[in-house]
Amino acid sequence: MLQVNTIGTIHHSPAFVRIYSYVPILLPVGYEVERPVFCPPKEPDAKRGTTAHVIFASSQDDRRNPDTANGHVCEDLFFTATIGQSPGDSPTPVFTITRSDDPVRKRYTAEGAITRVWRMACNEALRDFADRAAELNFPGLLKGKLHFHGIPLSGLSLKNVLGAVRALPGAEAALKAFGPAPSVKADPKEEGRTDPPPIPSLKGEGGGGRGRRARTRVYGAGSPGPRFAP
């Protein structure tokens, strides 16, 4: 289960678009989603790391998770992932994840690389909860591998989230400005070695266009992260 707290707004720079499984994915500024750290107890292993249901906290037809007393995605630990933007005339997306047990120290930020920031969060969760490693809500852990992509972990590729984002003002214009999705799988060696994806992606995961080498800034737990323009 995921809980989308805010859907965000569209930025028209090509840097705020990614390709996931040949589909253009918009990265709305201000997007915020909650994801459980651990899988639900009754969730089959075959569905581990996937999302069967999405709650839109701000929707008139939906509300925060009724199964929890505090209105969050779960009563246990959860991640909160947000999309911001760097300051300056040519901003890039800034991805931040916090963990609910210690949002100040368990805070991970990466500029331009959505998978990198999720990997940072997962690696520290593996260290902190070694006795519950099999329960962690990340695909591939049962096979001893961490092979995932930050787009689905953030819920951005789910049909209802994708539809909500594309319904935002300016979304259609942003997609037209970005152009058609590439039909040939990108070479991971040209990805700037920042976010090698398991599926087709743009050249330069964190860059501002096709063929540009990605520039990624990563901030670990305890780091103040990038400074944002007011």
pLDDT tens per residue, range 69-123: 456 767 789 999 999 999 988 899 999 999 999 999 999 999 999 999 999 999 9
Average pLDDT of the chain is 75
pLDDT band at 204 (very low <50, low <70, confident <90, very high): very low
Amino acid residing at 200? P
Quick check: helix, strand or coil at residue 81? Answer: strand
**Three-state secondary structure call for residue 12:** coil
Residue reference for tokens 């970005």: 178
- Is the pLDDT at 195 greater than 50? The verdict is no
Query: Integer distance in angstroms from the first to the last C-alpha of the chain?
Result: 33
According to the model, what pLDDT value does residue 39 have? 81
Domains of the chain, each with CATH number or no CATH: 2-219 (3.30.160.360)
Mean pLDDT of 166-189: 74
- For residue 163, give the 3-state DSSP assignment: helix
